[in-house]
Structure formats: structure tokens, C-alpha cells
Amino acid sequence: MVISNSNLRSARCLLVTGGAGFIGSNFVHYWNQHYPSDRLIVLDALTYAGNRANLVGLDEAQVQLVEGDICDRALVDSLVTGKKIDTVVHFAAESHVDRSILAPDAFVRTNVVGTFTLLEAFRQHWLTQKQPDHFRFHHVSTDEVYGSLNPDDPGFNETTPYAPNSPYSASKAGSDHLVRAYHHTYGLPTLMTNCSNNYGPFHFPEKLIPLMCINILMGKPLPVYGDGQNVRDWLYVKDHCSAIDTVIHRAEPDQPTTSAATTKLKISIWSQPCAA
Ligand SMILES: NC(=O)c1ccc[n+]([C@@H]2O[C@H](COP(=O)([O-])OP(=O)(O)OC[C@H]3O[C@@H](n4cnc5c(N)ncnc54)[C@H](O)[C@@H]3O)[C@@H](O)[C@H]2O)c1
């Protein structure tokens, strides 16, 4: 990642898509706490994964929740121009790998078409406003676009070739390529982070760590993926929010950043207490 020397900032108006979901809501709390003068418009379809309650306690004068779909171009246009958005932080996605295997359609629609809709609306707004230097489109992606590693392989980094293995990661890879192309083709000031698994407050119960915790508490069996030998990297969600903050304020556009984690979890260690 190329870091600029400038640390100056003035108040921003952010469109945060998926801001009622797990990472998005943590980000809204983080941003409101660190930059209380900024306005945040949260656009969220409130699917099964979104929850209004995740945003309770925030200052309603600074944070507004709009229930709607990122594929709705008229709505996105009206928010981007009407609210004078200068920064898009794009979390909205269908995000659960198992669901993508059962029903991939929604993943292609939201993750690919939705990202395209946002890029196109923001590009028109950026052009109308005469391409201001401080405008940013930050795309939140995943390290799953890089596929998986063998035990002795070096970790992923920004130059790792894409090798998505599920409809989820393939749809995120497609959205990454669109973001990259909008910078390359039009000069749109895009940023992108490809992060490992997150854990922390507001985590939806179907995801691994809360699912395992709930099953342990209820004395239920623990589902193990494959032979249980897979290892996953985990990052605390507030560290992810802090990394996005750094990238938005200090990175040059179109420098992809891979947020590495230091906490590794081998799923088989979870299975042993119940198997015993
Ligand atoms: N959870 C992780 O460990 C992880 C790791 C790396 C990257 N990411 C990425 O971070 C982003 C957020 O992940 P998350 O775990 O918070 O997801 P999540 O499933 O908890 O939240 C997604 C949010 O998007 C909203 N949404 C879904 N479809 C929408 C649509 N068409 N229009 C508007 N809103 C819509 C949902 O209502 C929900 O609030 C995703 O882009 C994901 O790919 C997640």
C-alpha cells in the first residue's frame, strides 16, 4: 500500500452500504466515534443479515439509515447526489459461503450488479462535481478471492493471483475487477481492501465463531468443514475498521490492500471437546 504524507481532513459525508450488517455496523460505530462531525448515510436492504438494532445508540443527527437495495439505481443516484456524498464505503454483500453454494443468484446480483450500480452512480456524481480530489470509493472485499493455501505456502498479499473457489468468492472477485476497471478506465478514485475473516460484536450466529459458541453452550454437535484440517485467519472487526480508516485517509487510489490477521484457528481444535 502506498501511504501519502497528508493527514489533513475536513468533514466528510459517507454512504455506507450494508451498514446494518456485521462489519458495516461496527464501522458506523467506529466512524461516528472517531469523526463525530462527519455525516453517515447507511444504505441497507435489511436482509436476514442486517439488523436495525446494530445501529442503536448512534446520534441520529449524524447517522441516517435508509432501507433500500444497492441495485436500485434511482435510489442510489438520489442518495449520492441529494446527500452530497464524497465517500462511499461499500460493505453490502451476500456474504455467507454456504448460502452461495445453495443459491448463487443473489450473490451475483448483489455483489456484482450492486457494486456496478454504485460505481456508475458515484462516477456520474464525481464527474458532475468536476472530479474533486477528496472523493473516494472504498470497496470492502475478502481474501477469499485468492482461494486457499497449502500449510507451507506464504500468506496472501496484494500480488497473489485471483483463484476464487465458491460462488461467493467468485462474485466478490467479479466486483473487485469492476472496481479496478473503474479506476483504470475512468480514473475514479477507488480503494479496495481484501481482508481475512472477522470476529467481534454483532456477528451473525450462522458464522463459524458464534455458531460454535452457541452449539457448545447448547451441547449440540459442532459442524466441521472437510476433514477439520483447514486453518483460517481471524481479524478483530474493530481492527478491520481501523485499517479501512487508514486506507481512506492515507492510501493512494487503486492500491489494493490485504489486511492480514495474526490469529489462526484450526477448526479441528473446536471439534475435539465434543468428540471426546
Ligand atoms: N465477515 C467476514 O469475515 C468478512 C471478511 C472479509 C470481507 N468481508 C466483506 O465485508 C463485507 C461485509 O461483510 P459482513 O460479514 O458484515 O456481511 P453481513 O452479511 O453481516 O452484512 C451484509 C449487509 O449487507 C446488506 N445487504 C445485502 N444485500 C443488500 C443489497 N442488495 N442492498 C443493500 N444492502 C444489502 C445486508 O442487509 C447486511 O446488513 C462484505 O462485502 C464481505 O464480503 C467479510
Q: What is the pLDDT of residues 110-146, one digit of tens each?
A: 999 999 999 999 999 999 999 999 999 999 999 999 9
Q: What is the pLDDT of residues 216-249, one digit of tens each?
A: 899 988 887 777 777 788 899 999 999 999 999 9
Q: What is the pLDDT of residues 23-46, one digit of tens each?
A: 999 999 999 999 999 999 999 999
Catalytic residues: 143-144, 168
Binned at pLDDT 50, 70 and 90, residue 260 comes out as very low
The whole model's pTM is what? 0.91
**Residue 176 near ligand 1, beta carbon < 6 Å:** no
Q: Is the pLDDT of residue 163 over 60?
A: yes
Mean pLDDT, to the nearest integer, of 151-161? 86
CA distance linking residue 264 with residue 54, whole number of Å = 27
Q: Please tell me the distance between residue 93's alpha carbon and the centre of ligand 1 in angstroms.
A: 4
Residue 5: predicted pLDDT: 43
In the chain, what are the domains? 13-198+236-260 (3.40.50.720)
**Residue 95 near ligand 1, beta carbon < 6 Å:** yes
Which residues are within 8 A (CB) of 48 and not within 5 positions of it... i.e. 6 or more apart?
none
Q: What is the pLDDT of residues 42-95, one digit of tens each?
A: 999 999 999 999 999 998 899 999 999 999 999 999 999 999 999 999 999 999
Q: Please tell me the distance between residue 25's alpha carbon and the centre of ligand 1 in angstroms.
A: 10
Looking at every residue in the chain, the average pLDDT score rounds to 89
156 or 268, which is more confident? 156
**Residue 22 near ligand 1, beta carbon < 6 Å:** yes
Residue 256: predicted pLDDT: 64
